[in-house]
Amino acid sequence: MKILLGVTGGIAAYKAIDLTSKLTQAGHEVRVIMTDGACEFVTPLPFQALSRNPVYTDIFKEHHPQEIQHISLTDWADCMVIAPITATTIGKLAHGISDNMLTATYLAFNGPVYIAPAMNSKMYDHPAVTDNLMLLRQRGVQIIEPGAGFLACGYIAKGRMSEPQEIMDVILNRNVTNEVEQDLAGKHVLITAGPTIERIDPVRYLTNRSSGKMGYSLAQAATMRGAQVKLVSIDLPLEVPQGVEHIKIESAHDMFEAVKSHMDEADIIIKAAAVADYTPVEVYEQKMKKKDGDLSLQLKRTQDILMYIGAHKTHQYVIGFAAETEYVEKYARGKLVKKNADVIIANNVGDTSIGFKSDDNAGTMYFEDGSEKVIEKQSKLGVSHEILTQVIKKGFK
Ligand code: PMT
């Protein structure tokens, strides 16, 4: 894909270097336009080196005299992303002010545009900015919302530019949606994602490190391929993919009830959730008070949801995961048989660059016919597409 990357003057401009690197490594062509403000924070050189293209900073400096660059770039690009975008540039785009190379190119471009704001939270919440963003949204610009966290001004609040990987996922997903084969059209897919929460008392609970990214990526991939998707998870700080029905739960018991009541209409069930195996026997209504000495909590087993699905499935294709740290194949194959799944995807959660919380995953699919398929390390969305492709190849109809 040919991507026009605009960079404006904010501290997050350094993250745009990483975004350029990630996009080019993934095989996309990138051309970069920087505002004067951006050049105060980072220089054009890293963008030039990573994109292997000249960087555009001045509308009056034409690199090729036979072309008008703020027009020819728009003929070249498939999409435009501005990351980070400041309040000033948001205002210029909203009001058609074209006083530099970036804003002039934006006005001449009629393809998909993505903007990733980054600024102080008070600026972001100012009515001038929110109104301008609304105007842009109404005109079809996709806003990649900033996240909350530590801001350069010392605040801990919303205003941090989205991470390069998230921006990349948004741009690429949206642009490949039209090209993805609708090979799950008309199918119903039920997915569980993330951890469960097992309450001890009103302020304490047991949970685990799962972020939900794997399950949410599966939901995204399935919906891109035309499926009707139901996603069962706790309330997570992740965006539910457009078109996906979110069924909010809290405990393993809630997840079991949700799966039980939706499994009949599902054609594919994917259990990517990290379900608690144990839950407290007693849930205290009031906060437990500290006492001298140690405390023992009595836990009881939760329902094994995948095992229940395996025992009660009729027509459903059942996909389980196995989070392992050792004897990965042995344990995964054991779960395949014990839980009567059609395939188990084993991921080695001992490797911190994949599995829990990370943006990437890798693993091996163990099928009930004895065959296996290795999935190379890639983004969780890539892994999700690979899983669905393999399931379809296996003859799932
Ligand atoms: O959420 P992320 O941060 O993106 O991380 C993704 C992941 C590592 C959580 C995911 O890829 C994964 O491996 N999910 C399964 C985690 C797990 O609970 O594995 P397990 O080996 O303990 O369980 C095996 C299977 O049984 C799983 O499909 C699980 O959903 C299911 N199970 C387990 C216990 C239980 N009570 N009910 C279940 O259905």
Ligand 1, residues 165, 275, 301, 325: which to mutate, most atoms within 8 A of Cβ? Answer: 275
Going from the Cα of 252 to the center of ligand 1, the distance in angstroms, rounded, reads 12
Assess contact for 163 and 15: CB atoms under 8 A: yes
The DSSP-derived string for 101-133 is HHHHHHHH--S-EEEEE---HHHHHSHHHHHHH
The token pair at 240 is 């539910």
Which of 49, 68, 134, 153 is an active site residue? 153
**Ligand 1 binding pocket, CB closer than 6 Å:** 194, 210-214, 252, 271-275, 277, 302, 304-306, 320-323, 335, 347, 349, 355-357
Is the pTM higher than 0.75? The answer reads no
Report pLDDT digits (tens) over 97-136.
999 999 999 999 999 999 999 999 899 999 999 999 999 9
Q: In which band, very low, low, confident or very high, does the pLDDT at 322 lie, cut at 50, 70 and 90? A: very high
Assess contact for 345 and 322: CB atoms under 8 A: yes
Report pLDDT digits (tens) over 27-73.
899 999 999 999 999 999 999 999 999 999 999 988 788 888 999 99
79 catalytic? Reply is no
